[in-house]
Amino acid sequence: MIDNSFLLFQLFVLLAHGEQFSDSPIQSIINPDIEIKNCTFGEICSGSINSSSIHFYSVEYSFDPTMAIRVITNMTYKIEQESPLLIVVRQIRGVISWTLPYTFSNGMVYSSASRILCLQNEINRTLPHTSRVFIEISTSNNALIDYSLQLENITDFLLETGVSRQFFVSPAMPIYYKFTFPPDIQNVFIDVRSTDQLCTVVSVQSFDCPVYDVSEIGTRQGHYQTMASISSFNVYASEFPKRNTFLLVFLVKPTDADCLNDQEQTAIRPSGIVDVQRRKNATVTIQPPTNYNFLYIAIFTTIGMFLMIYFLAFAIMCKHPDIYDHLAPEHLPLLEARTEREISEREDNQQGYQTFEGEENVESTSTDEYENSGGAIEVIETSNAGYVTVSDLCVKDYDYLKQKFRIYPQTMLTIAIFYSLPVIQLVLQYQLNIDASGNEDICYFNFLCTRQFAMLTAFNNVFSNIGYCALGVLFLIIVYRRDMAYARFLARYPAIGKEYGIPQHFGLFYAMGIGLFMEGLMSGCYHICPSKQNFQFDTSFMFIIAVLNIIKIYQTRHPDINP
């Protein structure tokens, strides 16, 4: 069967290029001669070629589903060469090609290149058998170019869970491995580590041909990310329902620009550099999802912890009424005694001070000069007991100020709604883009720590913000309880509320509670797709809460000032 296929191949070449066999030297250059050569698997087959000929090789190999075959090509590179070698590898159901020298857009040149044959297109891919591959070598260069090629087996082509695999990869020699999910495992964690910092693209692709393992195309297929020293993936069997198998492809970039924050700092190598040593040494390990068994435990433990905090908080609030609920007129003697003691201590401290003559003149100034200030003179006139209450300093009525301070939670709620809605839509669209394009560099994740759940790549990072939301709601409940208790207190004893203590306004506290809840929500949105553009989502309500704290501290002694 193999001999017949080889004869048919020779007949096809002769029919396709029969008109090229001519005695005319000019015709031999325009229509090159066809040279059919044999090559044994594992043998280094060499030759010399120019534009006057095309070399065809037919190599027989033994197919084994546990192995892969690599084609290694070399050439003698000379800078005066005008045209490269073109290598075309024909399989039964696919074609791959490349040129020698193997060049990149930044000018790097490699005189050696290799590709792994995509044997997944074999007619019988599950059982060992014998097959044949055809290789065509041609060039438009007039001078002879020396080359060599070799086919070799990759015996460690299959990856297994718990077994580390060390390998070397370079820009002109990509490599990939095959992994099949065991029946009892539905997802795995891929951990790739390297001792060097060469920028490399790692991609997870379906077990199909062609395999996208070249520089420009390999970064746009499957799930992929760039790595310098560490890379990791969470891969699920449901992503590959056709064969329950995937390929893990490694490709070193010609420069490190894609792995640096500031690409302008990358030293791009000049054109004409031949065979640059960019050989990456890496180790890949596929681990079963041992950590994922604890994901639900962590979720329910965290929720249970916050429920316990709520239970304790409500138990304390039910057992101990608010201070304003049991504050009554019989407590006034204690308050008055403390106030009189503070006044006497203040007067004793002031006896040691002497006033200068200029200060006495200022103090003796007629009050008529201050009548225009109105409110200030009225406040001073209310101090009949030798002291002034904070309530006396309020020019505006308490009920009026209460309504003014209600503006804070209303404004905060308005900001929260109209700021969060587009943010949620944006980050969810980012997540959909990651799933659709496979580009995991869109968002900056710590892939070693991410735990995927539902559609969220980093569910644990999103869920970790539940504390902000839970404690924000609890803070609102406590503020509401104090607000209602203070309102009941003022309804029972309106005079006491004016003469003792600081007038209480809870609008700022409500705004703080809303801000704390929104900080958890917006931080969770940021961690859906963390990036420089989204970082503002994580910090916006932090600044708002800080400003509200400053306003509250200032408002404590300036109750009628409402910025």
- 527 in Cβ contact with 486 (< 8 Å): no
Residue 319 has a CB neighbour count (10 Å cut-off) of 7
**Could you read off the pLDDT of 479-511 as tens digits, one per residue?**
999 988 888 888 887 767 666 666 777 888 999
Buried b vs exposed e over 408-431: b needs ≥16 C-beta within 10 Å? bbeebeebbeebbeebbeebeebb
- The confidence score (pLDDT) of residue 240 equals 82
User: DSSP E strands: which ranges in 346-433?
Assistant: none
- Is the pLDDT at 463 greater than 50? The verdict is yes
Tell me if the pTM is above 0.75.
no
**∠ at Cα 264 (261, 268), nearest 5°?**
110
- Is the pLDDT at 128 greater than 80? The verdict is no
- The confidence score (pLDDT) of residue 391 equals 61
- The confidence score (pLDDT) of residue 357 equals 44
Looking at per-residue pLDDT, the higher value among 135 and 400 belongs to: 135
Residue (of 282, 286, 193) closest to 235 by Cα position:
286
CA quadruple 550, 553, 558, 562: dihedral positive or negative? positive
Dihedral pair phi/psi, residue 222, rounded to 5°: 65, -155
Tally DSSP H helices, then E strands, for the chain: 13, 19
**Could you read off the pLDDT of 251-260 as tens digits, one per residue?**
888 888 878 7
Q: How far apart are CA 466 and CA 423, in angstroms?
A: 18
What element of type H or E holds 34? strand 33-38
CA dihedral 201, 206, 208, 212 (to 10 degrees): -20
Looking at per-residue pLDDT, the higher value among 210 and 399 belongs to: 210
Residue (of 437, 460, 440) closest to 524 by Cα position:
460
Say how many residues make up the chain: 563
- Name the average pLDDT for the chain: 78
**Could you read off the pLDDT of 8-24 as tens digits, one per residue?**
455 444 444 544 444 44
- Is the pLDDT at 28 greater than 70? The verdict is no
- Give the pLDDT mean for 190-207: 89
- 115 in Cβ contact with 108 (< 8 Å): no
Residue (of 189, 172, 199, 292) closest to 248 by Cα position:
189
**Could you read off the pLDDT of 282-312 as tens digits, one per residue?**
999 998 876 666 788 888 999 999 999 999 9
- Give the pLDDT mean for 197-226: 78
In sequence order, the β-bridge partners of residue 175 are: 250
**Could you read off the pLDDT of 311-363 as tens digits, one per residue?**
999 999 988 888 877 776 666 665 555 555 555 555 565 555 444 444 444 44
- The confidence score (pLDDT) of residue 353 equals 47
Q: Please give, one letter per residue, the 3-state secondary structure of 141-208.
A: CCCCEEEEEEEEEECCCECCECCEEEEEEECCECEEEEEECCCCCCEEEEEEEECCCCCEEEEEEECC
Residue (of 38, 175, 155) closest to 114 by Cα position:
175
Amino acid occupying residue 395 = V
Residue (of 375, 312, 314, 290) closest to 560 by Cα position:
375
Sequence-distant (6+) residues with CB within 8 A of 244 are: 180, 181, 237
CA quadruple 339, 342, 346, 347: dihedral positive or negative? positive
In sequence order, the β-bridge partners of residue 250 are: 175, 202
Q: How far apart are CA 355 and CA 381, in angstroms?
A: 23
Q: Can you name the CATH fold of 32-154?
A: Jelly Rolls (2.60.120)
Cα R_g (the chain), whole angstroms: 40
Residue (of 4, 3, 28, 6) closest to 17 by Cα position:
28
Residue (of 356, 249, 305, 324) closest to 464 by Cα position:
305
The correct answer on CATH 3.40.50.150 for the domain covering 156-262+277-289 is no
365: tokens are: 């100034």
Residue (of 523, 507, 347) closest to 420 by Cα position:
523
Residue (of 156, 132, 150, 157) closest to 63 by Cα position:
132
Q: How far apart are CA 384 and CA 150, in angstroms?
A: 107
Residue (of 328, 323, 487, 481) closest to 398 by Cα position:
487
Q: How far apart are CA 446 and CA 457, in angstroms?
A: 10
Q: How far apart are CA 492 and CA 497, in angstroms?
A: 10
Buried b vs exposed e over 273-311: b needs ≥16 C-beta within 10 Å? eeebebebebebbbebbeebeebeeebeeeeeebeeeee
- 63 in Cβ contact with 128 (< 8 Å): yes
Buried b vs exposed e over 438-449: b needs ≥16 C-beta within 10 Å? bbbbebebebee
Q: For the chain, which residues make up each domain, given as ranges? A: 32-154, 156-262+277-289, 291-323+383-562
DSSP 8-state symbol, 137: E
Q: How far apart are CA 538 and CA 528, in angstroms?
A: 11
186: tokens are: 């539905």
Omega prior to 101 cis, within 30 of 0: yes
